[in-house]
Amino acid sequence: MTRPTPDPDPRLVALRRIAADQGGVVSRRQAYASGVTRWEIRSAVRARRWQLIHDQAVCLHNSEVSLTGHLWAAVLQGGPHARLDGAAALVASGLQRFEIRSIRVSVPRGSRVRRTRRYDIRQTRRWSAEDLAPGGIPRTRVEVAAVRAALWARTDKEATYLLTLVVQQGLARPESIGAELLRVRRDRRRLLLHAIVNDLLDGARSLGELDVGRELRRRGLPAPVRQVLRQDRAGRYYLDLYWPDLKLVVEIDGIHHLWAENVVGDALRQNALALDGDTVLRLPLLGLRLRPDEFFAQVETAMRAAGWARPAA
């Protein structure tokens, strides 16, 4: 006769339900509220069924902790008013193609800071209850997090890349980022961020377009119309940079243009433009970095061939 299976412990069922929404991680406070004692936590950790991430966060399994689990653990470690900030908040809000080096957590001034080498938990005078994103893991709103991530970036290039990604991936509009940027009164990178947002407001949607736009201005070449919608028999597509009066198109090629699924579409689009009488120049980002003078010389040559001339000094 088989022995009946014991009923699952309702305390653990409730705790695992919480952990399922938090990357497998709970706080000690949540465990205690579910009725699990500190001695039971200690026993599960010693038996290697659970693992401590730090003194305030417990992972209810013994395998590798996911990024989502670490994001939750960082917030739980920070305390009741903690929230993800900067790039960590952006990743938690869905930002892709950006790897965070450390998880930044902000708490109000005067809060107790439980410091850990694993997470970057800091008091900040910029903490505001109005900046909390609705729902999900406690985090700063995308617009605010984007500005702070850019201010805290290692380099100007990374700051530009972050803001461009946020707009490119549709997480925030450049207008809302600009509104949050006006709250920043003093920072060494403030003027740079204003310039980036102005470029984004002007229609640029990739780091390459921003760089090319600046180079065109620096070299005294006319500004293009950006992200122009065209349509052929196969469908609709956008042109990166277009001079309608010169019938000149410059397409900026990132690494994704080399992927097999994009090669055919790119070729068909370029052929359609050529059949319409447009001159199409391709500018790979690698070429922009390594041999910019030669590529921009070609752009100027195409402009002159179409009838453009530099204004008299």
pLDDT score for 198? 78
Query: Please, are residues 159 and 153 in contact by the beta-carbon 8 Å criterion?
Result: yes
Judge whether residue 149 has pLDDT over 50: yes
237 pLDDT tier (thresholds 50, 70, 90):
low
pLDDT score for 32? 96
Structural domain total, the chain? 1
Residue 240 lies in a domain: yes
pLDDT in tens, 175-228: 899 889 988 888 899 888 988 887 787 665 566 777 888 889 999 999 888 766
Residue 273 lies in a domain: yes
Residue 296 lies in a domain: yes
DSSP string, 189-204: THHHHHHHHHHHHTT-
For 233-298, list the strands marked E by DSSP. Answer: 235-243, 248-253, 279-284
Judge whether residue 257 has pLDDT over 60: no
Q: Letter for the amino acid at 158?
A: E
Residue 242 lies in a domain: yes
Residue 299 lies in a domain: yes
Residue 229 lies in a domain: yes
Residue 234 lies in a domain: yes
pLDDT in tens, 267-280: 666 676 776 788 88
Range(s) of the domain holding residue 275: 207-305
Residue 136 lies in a domain: no
Long-range residue pairs from 93-98, CB within 8 A, at least 24 positions apart, any chain: 93/133, 93/139, 93/142, 93/145, 93/171, 94/169, 94/171, 95/165, 95/166, 95/169, 95/171, 96/165, 96/169, 97/165, 98/161, 98/162, 98/165
129 or 64, which is more confident? 64
Task: For residue 300, give the CATH number of its domain.
Answer: 3.40.960.10
pLDDT score for 232? 56
